[in-house]
Structure 1
Amino acid sequence: MTTAPERIVVVGASLAGLTAAQHLRARGYAGALTLVGDEPHRPYDRPPLSKQVLRGLYSADTTLPHPPDLGVEFRLGQPATRLDLSERAVELGDGSRLPYDRLLIATGTRARPWPDPEEAALAGVFTLRGRDDAQGLGARLRAGPQRVVLVGGGFIGFEVASTCRDLDIPVTLLVRDAVPLAAALGPRLGGLIGDVARDKGVDLRLESEIERMEARDGHLVAVTLKDGTRIETDCLVAAIGTLRNVEWLAGSGLEADAGGLRCDAFCRARHEDGGVAEGVFAAGDVARWPNPHDDDALVAVEHWGNARAQGETAAANMLAGDASAMRRHDHLPDFWSQQFGLTIKLVGLADGADSFAVMHGSLEERCLLAAYGRDGRTIAAASIDSARWLPAYKAAIRERAPFPPIEDAVDQPRLRVQEP
Structure 2
Amino acid sequence: MKRIVVVGGSIAAVTAASWLRVRGFDGTVTLLSAETEQPYTRVPLSKSVLSGEATDASTALPPLDDSVVLRLGARAVSLDTRARRVILDSGEPVPYDGLVIATGARARRLSPRGMSGERVLRTLADCAALREDLRRARSVLVVGAGLLGMEIASTCRTLGLEVTVVDRDPPLRRVLGPVLAEMITSAAREYGVVLRTVPCGVRLVGSHTLEGVDADGDLLTADVIVSAVGDVPAVDWLTGSGLTLDRGVVTDSRGRVADGIVAAGDAAVVRGTCRRPHWTNAVEQARVAAAALLGEDVAGASLPSYFWTNQFGVEAKVAGEPAELGEPDRVDADGSSLLLRWSAGAAATVNHTMPVRKLRQLASAP
Same fold (TM over 0.5): yes
Aligned to 1:181: 172
Instruction: Tell me if structure 2 keeps the 8 A contact 1:337–1:344.
Output: yes
Aligned to 1:308: 283
**TM-score after normalising by structure 1:** 0.81
Instruction: Tell me if structure 1 keeps the 8 A contact 2:50–2:155.
Output: yes
Residue of structure 1 aligned with 2:342, choices 363, 372, 381: 372
Count of paired positions: 363
Aligned to 1:77: 73
Partner Cα distance (1:330, 1:136) in 2: 37
Instruction: Tell me if structure 2 keeps the 8 A contact 1:266–1:314.
Output: yes
In the alignment, is residue 170 of structure 1 matched against residue 165 of structure 2?
A: no
Instruction: Tell me if structure 1 keeps the 8 A contact 2:260–2:293.
Output: yes
Residue of structure 2 aligned with 1:117, choices 110, 113, 119: 113
Change (3 A) 1:287 1:48: same
**TM-score after normalising by structure 2:** 0.92
In the alignment, is residue 239 of structure 1 matched against residue 228 of structure 2?
A: yes
Bigger relative CO (Cα 8 Å, ≥ 6 apart): 2
The Cα shift of 1:390 comes to 6.7
Instruction: Tell me if structure 1 keeps the 8 A contact 2:42–2:123.
Output: yes
Aligned to 1:202: 193
The Cα shift of 1:104 comes to 0.3
Larger Rg computed on CA atoms: 1
What amino acid sits opposite 1:63 in the alignment?
Answer: A
Partner Cα distance (2:254, 2:204) in 1: 46
Instruction: Tell me if structure 2 keeps the 8 A contact 1:12–1:36.
Output: yes
Aligned to 1:127: 120
Instruction: Note the 1:277-292 alignment, pairs <5 A.
Output: 277-289=258-270
Calculate percent identity across the aligned residue pairs.
Answer: 37
CA deviation profile, 1:31-67 (whole Å, cap 9, x unmatched): 1111111211221110010001111012223221125
Divergent runs of 4+, >3 A:
208-212, 387-393, 396-399
CA deviation profile, 1:348-377 (whole Å, cap 9, x unmatched): 122432552342118xx653222235xxxx
Partner Cα distance (1:171, 1:382) in 2: 27
Aligned to 1:409: none
Q: Which runs of 5+ in 1 are unaligned?
A: 270-276, 291-296, 402-420
In the alignment, is residue 47 of structure 1 matched against residue 43 of structure 2?
A: yes
Partner Cα distance (2:145, 2:346) in 1: 21
Could you say what secondary structure the match of 1:330 adopts?
coil
Partner Cα distance (1:85, 1:56) in 2: 44
The Cα shift of 1:95 comes to 0.8
The Cα shift of 1:86 comes to 1.4
Residue of structure 1 aligned with 2:142, choices 141, 145, 150: 150
Aligned to 1:34: 30
Residue of structure 2 aligned with 1:298, choices 273, 276, 281: 273
Change (3 A) 1:102 1:191: same
Could you say what secondary structure the match of 1:360 adopts?
strand
The alignment yields a C-alpha RMSD, in angstroms, of: 2.1
Q: Which runs of 5+ in 2 are unaligned?
A: none
